[in-house]
Every structure is written in C-alpha cells, then in structure tokens.
Copies of this chain bind each other. A is one copy, B any other.
Amino acid sequence: MVRDPSEDSVPRRLLSAATKLFAQRGFDRTSVQEIVSAAGVTKGAMYHYFGSKDDLLSEIYGRVLRLQTEQLEKVAATEAPVRERLRQAATDVVTSTIENLDDTTIFLQSMHQLSPDKQNAVRSERRRYHERFRSLIEEGQREGQFRTDKPADIVVDFFFGSVHHLGSWYRSSGRLSARQVGEHYADLLLDALRP
C-alpha cells in the first residue's frame, strides 16, 4: 500500500493532536474523545498504542526533555571557556523551548496532573538537567569568572523560571526571533553573574 507522506502513523498523529490540544486547553480540559477526533482515529486505536491519557502526556514530556538534555551535554563537554559554554547552553535552552513551545507549555502547566510515580520520573530527569546546568555555574565561580555571593542553585531557579515563563508571553508573530530572545536572556544571565 502506498502511503501519502503527509499521512503520519497513528501514534504520531495522536501525539501531535494531543500536544496541540493540551497546550491550548490544558490536560484536564482536553477529553480523550477530542484527541482521537482530531487525530482522525477512534478511542480503541488510542488505547491500542497508549495505556492511558497520562501516557500521552509522559511521552510528550519525554521527547522535549531528552532533546534538551542532549543539547546541554553536548555544549557542556566542549573545550570552550566556561562563560562561552554557559552562554551557549542558555541560548540553546531558550531557543529550543520556543521552538517547541507547545510541549514546554504543557510541561509547565500539566506536570502536576500526572500520576505520582510518572511525576517523579519526570522530576528526577528535570533535576539532573538542572544539576548539570548548575555545575557549569559552579565551575565559573571556582575559576573566578562569576560572582560567588549568589548561591548557584538560586541562580539556576532564577533563570529557569524565566525560561518556563516563555510560553505565557512569547508569540512567534512578535518582533523578536527565538534566537534573539535567547541571546537577550543569555546576556541577562551572564551579566547578572559578573563578579
């Protein structure tokens, strides 16, 4: 059978429909019926591929978490000076957050609606990510590149608050590109860290 290339596989269509709807109306306000209708399949098909509505959400999280973790590991491992590595990491996370704004909006708004153990899995992945980011800051503090009168964990929470908030105001139709916002944010972070 020939496949229209525009016609994705069923699980992919389900994930994509769910992402859009969860971002628009929230996880709880989106019914399984709405998701499967948007994906053009029936409920049975969805439950054939995903164990539950929660599973859809977890899967969406997983994708973006894995992507960002990968990017961070790659940048952190380069030979560049720590200031440059932190700047790059900060720019990257802002850019990729904006490029996947639906996923990350859902992340922020719906995580606490998952079942406790799925929440823990996501949280610990997230924690590892933050710890990796924090260790960059600590490295710069040890080298005398960054101020030492601010605890690194406070700075991390300060910065990721800003990042998570992007979904509430950034519009792709606005005057700034994802990259421009990323650079502004990285500047603000780096300058706030000047000794």
Contacts and interface: CB of A to CB of B under 8 A. Distances in A.
A166 B112 CA distance: 15
Contacts of A158: 162, 184-185, 188
Interface in A22-60: 25-26, 28-29
Given A109-B109, A162-B161, A163-B161, A155 B28 contact: no
Interface residues of A, number: 33
B165 A28 contact: no
Contacts of A181: 154
Copies in the complex: 4
A192 to B, nearest CB: 4
A28 B113 contact: yes
Interface of A: 25-26, 28-29, 109, 112-113, 147, 150-151, 154-155, 157-166, 169, 176, 181, 184-185, 187-189, 191-192, 194
